DNA sequence: GAAACTTCATATTT
DNA sequence: CAAATATGAAGTTT
């Protein structure tokens, strides 16, 4: 069962008319582009290929029409010739040619990621599998694996960025470093790239539609798209059981001028034919990814689509969004805008998939500038914080008339008992008048490092972080003030059928960045006792598990990694009263695989028993996706995750 | 806009 | 002949 299709004639793609190959002119005139290696679908006399410019000459397009026609008829002929044997199952077929995907048990076993064995040089397996019908617990398992992998990628990147920043002085010229590549390389060396032992056709288990990636390499690491640069990923002919390549995923990043992206329907340009400056300068050939995409159409193989989108706020102005599965429905040879031959592929999105992530991103972005009367129905309040936060906190409910969140006073920062501040200002802050550097006394309290990189990304979770604060001499722009500055993303409290209340963001939140504080009136142990007797429910911060330890846990990369234990702090012994004053954080739902975590921070006083509860993103959180926290509650799946590891 | 960068497929050499 | 090595093409990020 390891072959995807019965064997075909391996000579299918070699030039059938070998006698004529020596007649092909290498150069005719500077204006005419010879095709060095004619595809079998082109006429053997290639010197009639149209001139470079101008593209609009009538004989040019007619010549291309002729070639295009020939291309089509050759497809048809081949289909006629091989169609009856070369059939891969469609999604609903149970021919079994793709290694088992009708047996739920087998699917999981089949696609479980195991350490590479027996394969040399980190090569990917050529074995095609499709993973379907995941049970909820399977999905959680795969999701967890993706999550841990991405957590490692993101936090390893933050770590390396911080290291580089630290070693850099202002005199030496800045080296341009590709930290993303470094991260990918390190992870690959440790065998941490996912799905290398199977080629997955269709969805990657654990990757959801709408998942957002900041780096192209991250797509490789999670197995979504295996090419570091090329837009078409495929099983090469040499690895395929029948000698034919098969495409499994594409990235639509706008690098080709002839692409037409209408969302559900994409006219995708094949790759090749470009010069260093991404201009089409020669005709494309039907080979590599182009041929593979054509084969995927022939066999009805679904293709994953990732879109590269412009996005302000990303370090390089671009993000990648997984938009789901498409099928190739048509292909033809065309004259591109620059006048050279390009292969085109029509891709149509499968129905009944979730909304496209790229659409959600664009929608959330459009809300920035949209007039209020054009907003969707359901916005009860446009700012729960009444302008106390930097950005509005929206309140959305299109389900019922429950307006409860409106009835609380909004608290931007936790209110501690007065005695917490009762120590005088001596020895609290640093004296870095001109801005903080490595020798800053606050940095020293963190163990000699700043907890954040220059972009404000948390480098590594710690038991407690010391930020500079009101008692420091440094300016408010100091790099060591991140969580005290309040919201940066437009958050939204919303009514949900499943979770009652929930929180989501209208902005894309990058992994490792600060989201908001979890605020309330802080009660000492004794005060809390009295409250509990009155029947009021309180939140006990000590119940939040140490999720911070996961952010920046590099033990899989560096064998000498030790989990940070400094500074050691006593167990939290206070409660938070949310009965009158609260902020957006308390509406976050619980999850045992949360995308938000608690990091304790101190900045306006020095009592380590009463730190602020600051919330940071553990993943890249796309707009409109629900934020979740681990409140330390038992989870119904907890006992069933043993198949994971 | 140029340089740095990595992977992969294929071609070539040992 | 298999393994090692070289080359070119792919496109993103700084």
How high is the pLDDT of residue A75?
44
- Give whichever of A206-210, A242-246, A424-428 has the largest mean pLDDT: A206-210
Dump pLDDT digits (tens) for A355-384: 999 999 988 888 888 888 888 889 999 899
Q: Would you put residue A447 in left (φ > 0), alpha (ψ -120 to 50) or beta?
A: left
Comparing A115 with A302, the larger pLDDT belongs to A302
Return d(Cα A156, Cα A418) in angstroms, integer.
40
Dump pLDDT digits (tens) for A534-583: 766 788 999 999 999 999 999 888 888 888 887 888 899 999 999 889 99
Residue A38 has pLDDT above 70, yes or no: no
A412, A390 contact by CB (below 8 A): no
Poorest-pLDDT segment among A277-281, A527-531, A639-643: A639-643
Residue A313 DSSP class: T
Residue A72 has pLDDT above 70, yes or no: no
How high is the pLDDT of residue A169?
56
Which nucleotide's C1' atom has the smallest distance to the CA of A230? C10
A484, A604 contact by CB (below 8 A): yes
How many other β-carbons are positioned within 10 Å of the β-carbon of residue A386?
11
If you measure CA to C1', which residue is closest to nucleotide B3? A176
* Whether A66 CB is under 7 Å from strand C: no
Which nucleotide's C1' atom has the smallest distance to the CA of A273? C9
Residue A185 has pLDDT above 70, yes or no: yes
How high is the pLDDT of residue A483?
96
How high is the pLDDT of residue A634?
61
Which nucleotide's C1' atom has the smallest distance to the CA of A184? B6
A387 band by pLDDT with thresholds 50, 70 and 90: very high
> How crowded is the C-beta side of A641, counted as CA atoms within 13 Å?
14
Dump pLDDT digits (tens) for A83-117: 322 222 222 223 222 222 222 222 322 222 222 23
Dump pLDDT digits (tens) for A428-466: 788 888 888 878 888 888 888 889 988 899 999 999 999
> Of the candidates A313, A315, A311, which has an alpha carbon nearest to the alpha carbon of residue A158?
A315
Poorest-pLDDT segment among A4-8, A298-302, A345-349, A479-483: A4-8
State how far Cα A383 lies from the chain centre.
Answer: 29
A640 band by pLDDT with thresholds 50, 70 and 90: very low
Contacts of A45 (CB under 8 A, 6+ apart): A20, A23
A414, A519 contact by CB (below 8 A): yes
Q: How many angstroms is C1' of B4 away from CA of A216?
A: 16
Averaged pLDDT for residues A114-136? 60
How high is the pLDDT of residue A201?
84
Q: Which of helix, strand or coil describes residue A288? A: helix
Which nucleotide's C1' atom has the smallest distance to the CA of A289? C10
A334 band by pLDDT with thresholds 50, 70 and 90: confident
Average per-residue pLDDT for chain A: 76
How high is the pLDDT of residue A307?
93
Q: How many angstroms is C1' of C5 away from CA of A121?
A: 14
Report in angstroms the alpha-carbon separations of A21 from A40, A174, A234, A457, A518.
Answer: 11, 52, 29, 59, 73
What percent of chain A is helix, strand and coil (3-state, nearest 5)?
25, 20, 55
Q: How many angstroms is C1' of B10 away from CA of A277?
A: 24
Q: How many angstroms is C1' of B14 away from CA of A172?
A: 44
Q: Which of helix, strand or coil describes residue A343? A: strand
**pLDDT-above-70 percentage for chain A:** 76
DSSP line for A103-134: SHHHHHHHH------S--TTPPP--EEE----
Poorest-pLDDT segment among A293-297, A408-412, A617-621: A293-297
If you measure CA to C1', which residue is closest to nucleotide C10? A230
Contacts of A113 (CB under 8 A, 6+ apart): A145, A194, A195, A196, A197
State how far Cα A301 lies from the chain centre.
Answer: 24
A380, A397 contact by CB (below 8 A): yes
**pLDDT-above-90 percentage for chain A:** 33
Averaged pLDDT for residues A136-162? 87
A250 band by pLDDT with thresholds 50, 70 and 90: very high
Return the exposure string of A256-269: e unless at least 16 CB atoms fall within 10 Å of the residue's CB, then b: bebbeeeeeebbbb
A402 band by pLDDT with thresholds 50, 70 and 90: very high
Averaged pLDDT for residues A306-322? 85
Residue A318 has pLDDT above 60, yes or no: yes
Q: How many angstroms is C1' of B6 away from CA of A241?
A: 27
Chain B positions with any atom < 7 A from a protein CB: 1-10
Strand partners, A334: A342
Strand partners, A332: A344
Q: Would you put residue A385 in left (φ > 0), alpha (ψ -120 to 50) or beta?
A: alpha
Residue A35 has pLDDT above 80, yes or no: no
For chain A, the distance separating the N- and C-terminal CA atoms, rounded to the nearest angstrom, is 27
Residue A36 has pLDDT above 50, yes or no: no
> Of the candidates A131, A162, A327, A307, which has an alpha carbon nearest to the alpha carbon of residue A225?
A307
Dump pLDDT digits (tens) for A39-69: 222 222 222 222 223 333 323 445 445 545 5
Q: Which residues of A507-620 form beta strands (DSSP E)?
A: 514-517, 521-523, 538-539, 575-577, 581-582, 589-590, 596-602, 612-617
Indicate the pairing of strand A246-252 with strand A232-235: antiparallel
Which nucleotide's C1' atom has the smallest distance to the CA of A193? B7
How high is the pLDDT of residue A642?
30
How high is the pLDDT of residue A412?
95
How high is the pLDDT of residue A560?
87
If you measure CA to C1', which residue is closest to nucleotide B1? A277
Contacts of A64 (CB under 8 A, 6+ apart): A50, A333, A334, A335, A341
Chain C positions with any atom < 7 A from a protein CB: 9-14
Averaged pLDDT for residues A64-84? 44
* Whether A308 CB is under 7 Å from strand C: yes
pTM: 0.81
Q: How many angstroms is C1' of C13 away from CA of A257?
A: 20
């Amino acid at each position: 069962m390891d072959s995807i299709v019965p064997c075909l004639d391996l000579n299918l793609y070699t030039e059938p008319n070998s006698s004529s190959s020596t007649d092909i002119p290498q150069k005719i005139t500077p204006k005419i582009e010879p095709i060095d290696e004619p595809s079998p679908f082109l006429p053997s006399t290639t010197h009639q290929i149209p001139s470079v410019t101008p593209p609009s000459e009538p004989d040019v397009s007619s010549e291309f029409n002729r070639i295009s026609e020939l291309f089509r008829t050759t497809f048809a002929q081949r289909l006629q010739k091989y169609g009856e044997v070369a059939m891969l199952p469609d999604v609903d077929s149970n021919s079994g040619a793709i290694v088992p995907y009708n047996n739920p048990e087998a699917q999981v076993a089949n696609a479980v990621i195991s350490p590479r064995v027996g394969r040399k040089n980190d090569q990917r397996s050529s074995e095609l599998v499709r993973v379907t019908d995941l049970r909820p617990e399977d999905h959680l398992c795969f999701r967890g694996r993706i999550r841990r992998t991405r957590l490692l990628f993101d936090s390893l990147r933050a770590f390396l960025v911080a290291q580089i920043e630290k070693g850099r002085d202002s005199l030496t010229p800045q080296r341009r470093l590709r930290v993303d590549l470094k991260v990918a390389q390190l992870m690959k060396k440790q065998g941490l790239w996912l799905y290398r032992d199977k080629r997955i056709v269709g969805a990657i288990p654990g990757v959801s539609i709408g998942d957002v990636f900041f780096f192209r390499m991250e797509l490789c690491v999670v197995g979504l798209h295996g090419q570091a640069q090329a837009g078409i990923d495929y099983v090469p002919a040499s690895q395929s059981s029948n000698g034919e390549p098969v495409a499994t995923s594409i990235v639509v990043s706008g690098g080709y001028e002839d692409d037409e992206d209408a969302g559900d329907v994409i006219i995708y340009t094949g790759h090749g034919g470009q010069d260093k400056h991404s201009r089409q300068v020669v005709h494309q050939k039907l080979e590599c990814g182009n041929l593979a995409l054509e084969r995927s159409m022939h066999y009805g193989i679904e293709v994953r689509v990732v879109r590269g989108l412009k996005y302000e706020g990303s370090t390089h102005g671009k993000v990648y969004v997984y938009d789901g599965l498409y099928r190739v429905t048509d292909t033809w040879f065309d004259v591109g805008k620059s006048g050279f031959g390009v292969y085109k592929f029509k891709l149509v999105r499968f129905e009944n998939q979730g909304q496209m992530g790229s659409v959600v991103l664009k929608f959330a972005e459009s809300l920035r500038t949209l007039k209020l009367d054009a907003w969707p129905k359901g916005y009860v309040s446009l700012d729960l914080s009444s302008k106390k936060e930097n950005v509005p906190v929206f309140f959305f409910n299109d389900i019922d008339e429950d307006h409860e969140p409106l009835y609380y006073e909004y608290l931007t920062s936790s209110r501690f008992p007065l005695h917490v501040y009762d120590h005088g200002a001596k020895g609290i802050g640093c004296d870095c008048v001109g801005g903080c550097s490595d020798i800053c006394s606050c940095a020293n309290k963190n163990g000699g490092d700043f907890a954040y990189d220059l972009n404000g990304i948390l480098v590594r979770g710690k038991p407690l972080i010391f930020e500079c604060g009101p008692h420091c001499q440094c300016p408010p722009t100091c790099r060591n003030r991140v969580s005290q500055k309040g919201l940066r993303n437009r958050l939204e409290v919303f009514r949900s059928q499943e979770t009652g209340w929930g929180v989501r963001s209208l902005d894309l939140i990058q992994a490792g960045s600060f989201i908001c504080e979890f605020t309330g009136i802080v009660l000492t142990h004794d005060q809390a006792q009295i409250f509990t007797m009155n029947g009021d429910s309180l939140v006990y911060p000590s119940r939040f598990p140490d999720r911070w330890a996961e952010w920046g846990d590099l033990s899989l990369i560096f064998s000498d990694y030790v989990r940070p234990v400094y500074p050691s702090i006593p167990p939290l012994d206070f409660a938070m009263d949310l009965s009158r004053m609260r902020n957006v954080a308390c509406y976050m739902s619980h999850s045992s695989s949360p995308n938000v975590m608690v990091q304790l921070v101190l900045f306006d006083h020095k009592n380590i028993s009463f730190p602020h509860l600051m919330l940071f993103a553990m993943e890249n959180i796309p707009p409109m996706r629900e934020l979740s926290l681990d409140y330390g509650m038992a989870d119904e799946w907890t006992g069933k995750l043993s198949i994971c590891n």
